[in-house]
Amino acid sequence: MTEDPTPLDRAHAAMEAAPEDATLRLRFYEALVEAELILWLAADPAPGADPAPALFDTEDGRLALSFDNEARLAAFTGAPAPYAALPGRALVQMLAGQGIGLGLNLGVAPSSFLLGAEAIDWLAETLAVAPEPMQSRPVHLAPPRLPPEVIAALDRKLARAAGLASHALLAEARWSDGREGHLLALVGAVAGAEQALAQALGEALIFSGQEATVLDVAFLAENDALTGRLAGQALRFDLPSGAQPETDAPGPQPPGSDPNRPPRLR
């Protein structure tokens, strides 16, 4: 029976089909951080202890190994093995800064590939990017004028933020100091979800390939006067309801940290 391709398989295939397309490489990284990955562990962790990945010294450097489902781990090991399931985002942050790369689906899937330690560090820094919090109220609002890639990226991220807010409103904005940009207001956000939402929106800009876009973020109540002003000008995104939140300027520029030229996979 042929296995259905996973989101990582599809993103990897698209990237491989157009190796010079930076946007498709960024979409692959987006699929990676959003996937639930199965990390091969050195041993079952003791109660209360953090999981420790099994590490392998190879000609490509020290690697942890992960897979995008349990069946692929089993196919690789050929025997039961301890593992932890965690978001790709969390795995990248776990490995960053330690000189450890990541082998994904090695030898068991079309999306078999390696990320070196440099790529892991770049991706961890990329995930730390978030939009600017709004410091003042805009004096002028207008319908948004953003590239379709940014609108689509914001739509994808907000669709994954089920239950975090009622809806989002996006408009072009001008502030009293003359600064211009775009404002994205999250209306009715769940208390405590602000950081997760801001990080998700920062990722949307980076992985859209339009990281130079200026975006301010505000968290507003339904009855806020600015919510009413935005409603007449803004593009509205309705967030799905009923699910639990999914929690998660760049620092020093390491090699390959330009989001338009991410590290190539080997």
Instruction: Report the distance separating Cα 149 and Cα 142, nearest Å.
Output: 19
- Mean predicted confidence (pLDDT) in 211-237: 91
> Mind listing the pLDDT tens digit for each residue in 150-204?
999 999 999 989 999 999 999 999 998 888 999 999 999 999 999 889 888 888 8
Of residues 75, 145, 154, 151, the one with CA closest to residue 112: 75
Kindly provide the residue ranges of all beta strands, DSSP E only, lying in the chain, ordered along the sequence: 36-40, 55-58, 61-67, 83-87, 101-104, 113-115, 132-133, 140-142, 167-174, 180-187, 215-220, 235-238
How far is CA 42 from its chain centroid? 27
Q: What is the pTM of this model?
A: 0.79
How many of the other CB atoms lie within 10 Å of CB of 213? 17
Return the pLDDT at 17: 95
- Mean predicted confidence (pLDDT) in 119-124: 94
Looking at the domain that runs over 132-238, which CATH code has it been given?
3.30.429
Return the pLDDT at 242: 60
Residues of the chain with CATH 3.30.429: 132-238
